């Protein structure tokens, strides 16, 4: 294990930034999100939950997919991925300070976007990224990652780091991580095992006391799919839902998107953008809609996270307990309320 004094972190960032892109939690206009690092930026590693999750780095909220040039009856397709791939190869990037829940969320997304047939847009960015995770030391009431088997004190990733009052501790886990370590090694000194163990134990003690630590997921299994779907309580659970997309857009695992065309002076741009199953036009077709009520849309979102996705992915839930929806739903609806209503608490 390596360590670097907290006050020298800027040197570390600058060193990485010499050859690679560096994205990390940075405060801008009062809110912390993943932004490109630069000298003078207000880094906020301690922020547990950036408003937008780091999924934005691989799956941008809006991205151009291709261009069409039309002339008379003819069409020419311009594949923008060549450029994207060249840029990624030219300047790979580091995502610094990713929390355990958000890292797990990237694994959830990988299973969607990297499954055959591969989503090459996602893949290009994903391959270019080295992920440096940061262990949590001060989890908050809306955190429930442990319910999904995630250890907030020892996140995975290419490099795992821990931060205490004095040092940042650094441990490479993968080849990408080793390569990054080589790049910055001279800034580090050896040691920190004991401090990290102490921090882990302290954080564990808090994690166990968190109010949502005992959510019971045992009912959310493929065999209960129809029973859960038909539960009469979806109506009351969803009644206050505004049908906005806040929960889906702040969610680190929500991956639904729309593909649309935009006419410009230089031709047509086909882009994709985040979409939300909470929106009334999500499933709208010219001759009908399979989800006509907000209850159906609400149910779709939570059934997908807790039952449909796990059915397709060996039981892996597509919720990581980050708690963003708990904090951000305008009307205070969230997945915890759904889990408690349908699944309950282990101690109850």
Partner 1 sequence: MIEENLIPKIGVITDVRRDTPDVKTFRVVGTDGKKLFKHMPGQCAMVSVPGVGECMFSITSSPTNEEYMEFSIKKCGCVTEVIHSLEVGQQITVRGPYGKNFRVEEDFKGQDLLFIAGGIGLAPLRSVINYVRHYRSNYGKVVIVYGARSKDDLVDIEEIQNEWMNEPNTEVYLTIDRPQEGWDGHVGFVPAYVKELGLNPNMTAVLCGPPIMIKFTLAGLLEIGFDKSRVFTTLELRMKCGIGKCGRCNVGDKFVCKDGPVFRMTELDELPDEY
Partner 2 sequence: MKDVELKMLERAKQLLESGEVARVIGWKKGEFYFDPAPASFETVEELGDFVYNGFCGANLSKYLIQASKKEGKTAIFLKPCDSYSFNQLVKEHRIVRENIHVIAIECQGKLDIEKIKAQGISAVTEVEEEGESVTVSSLYGETKLNKAEILLGKCASCKGKTHQVKDEEIILHEMPAPINNRFDEVAKLEAMTEDERFAFWREQLQKCIRCNACRNVCPACSCVKCVFDNPASGIEAKANDDKFEEQLFHIIRAFHVAGRCTDCGECSRVCPQNIPLHLLNRKFIKDIDGLYGEFQAGETDNGKTPLTSYTESDVEPNNALGGEAK
Binding residue for partner 2, selected from 102, 119, 158, 275, defined by CB under 8 A: 275
Residues of the shown chain interacting with partner 1 in the complex, contacts defined by CB under 8 A: 65-66, 68, 70, 73-75, 77, 79, 81-82, 85, 112-113, 115, 117-121, 124, 222, 225-226, 229-230, 255-261, 263, 267-268, 270, 272, 275, 277, 282-287, 290-291, 296, 300, 303-304, 307-308, 311-312
CB–CB of 58/129 below 8 Å?
A: yes
Binding residue for partner 2, selected from 240, 290, 315, 346, defined by CB under 8 A: 240
SS3 letters for 33-91?
A: EEEECCCCCCECCCCCCCCCCHHHHCCCCEEEEEEEEEECCEEEEEECHHHHHHHHHHC
Q: How many other CB atoms are there within 10 angstroms of residue 280's CB atom?
A: 13
Q: Residue 273: enclosing H or E segment and its boundaries?
A: strand 267-274
φ, ψ at 90 (rounded to 5°): -65, -40
Peptide bond before residue 338 is cis, with ω within 30 degrees of 0: no
State the binding partner of 213 from partner 2, partner 1, none, CB within 5 to 8 A by kind: none
Tell me how many residues contact partner 2 (CB under 8 A): 51
With binding defined as CB under 8 A, does residue 59 bind partner 2? no
State the binding partner of 206 from partner 1, partner 2, none, CB within 5 to 8 A by kind: partner 2
With binding defined as CB under 8 A, does residue 140 bind partner 2? yes
What would the two tokens of residue 121 be? Answer: 């847009």
Using only the alpha carbons of the chain, give its radius of gyration: 22
Part of the chain binding partner 2 (CB under 8 A), chosen from 5-13, 91-99, 115-123, 206-214: 206-214
Binding residue for partner 2, selected from 11, 110, 216, 258, defined by CB under 8 A: 258
Residue with Cβ nearer partner 2 (243 or 315): 243
Residue with Cβ nearer partner 1 (124 or 168): 124
With binding defined as CB under 8 A, does residue 345 bind partner 2? no
In the complex, minimum distance from the CB of residue 276 to partner 2, in angstroms, rounded to a whole number = 8
**Alpha-carbon torsion angle 193, 199, 202, 203, nearest 10:** -120
Within the chain, residue ranges assigned H as helices are 9-19, 81-90, 100-113, 120-128, 175-184, 193-209, 225-229, 234-238, 246-250, 294-303, 309-312, 324-328, 335-342
Which residues are at the interface with partner 2 (CB under 8 A)?
A: 28-31, 33, 48, 51-52, 61-62, 138-141, 206, 209-212, 236, 239-240, 242-246, 248-250, 258, 260, 262, 271, 273-276, 279-281, 326-328, 330-333, 336-337, 340
């Amino acid at each position: 294990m390596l360590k670097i004094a907290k006050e020298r972190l800027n040197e570390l960032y600058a060193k990485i930034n010499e050859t690679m892109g560096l994205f990390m939690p940075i405060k801008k206009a009062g809110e912390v999100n993943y932004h490109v690092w630069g000298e003078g930026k207000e880094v906020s590693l301690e922020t547990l939950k950036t408003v937008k999750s780091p999924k934005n780095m691989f799956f941008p909220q809006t991205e151009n997919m291709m261009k069409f040039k039309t002339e008379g009856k003819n069409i020419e397709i311009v594949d923008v991925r060549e450029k994207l791939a060249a840029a990624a190869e030219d300047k790979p990037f580091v995502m610094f300070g990713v929390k355990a829940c958000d890292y797990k969320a990237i694994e959830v997304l990988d299973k969607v976007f990297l499954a055959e047939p591969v989503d090459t847009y996602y893949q290009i960015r994903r391959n270019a990224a080295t992920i440096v995770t940061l262990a949590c030391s001060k989890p908050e009431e809306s955190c429930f990652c442990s319910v999904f088997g995630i250890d907030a004190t020892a996140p995975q990733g290419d490099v795992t780091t821990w931060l205490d009052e004095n040092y940042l501790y650094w441990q490479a886990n993968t080849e990408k991580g080793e390569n990054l370590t080589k790049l910055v090694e001279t800034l580090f000194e050896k040691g920190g095992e004991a401090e990290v163990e102490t921090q882990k134990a302290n954080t564990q003690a808090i994690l166990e006391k968190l109010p949502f630590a005992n959510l019971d997921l045992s009912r959310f299994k493929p065999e209960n799919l129809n029973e859960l779907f038909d539960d009469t309580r979806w109506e009351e659970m969803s009644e206050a839902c505004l049908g906005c997309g806040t929960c889906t857009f702040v969610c680190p695992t929500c991956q639904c998107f729309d593909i649309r065309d935009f006419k410009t002076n230089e031709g047509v741009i086909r882009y994709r953008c985040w979409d939300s199953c909470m929106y009334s036009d999500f499933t709208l077709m010219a001759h009908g809609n399979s989800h006509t009520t907000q209850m159906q849309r609400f149910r779709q979102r939570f059934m997908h996270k807790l039952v449909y996705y796990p059915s397709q992915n060996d039981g892996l839930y597509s919720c990581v307990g980050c708690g963003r929806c708990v904090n951000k739903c305008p009307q205070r609806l969230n997945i915890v309320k759904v889990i408690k209503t349908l699944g309950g608490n282990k101690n109850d």
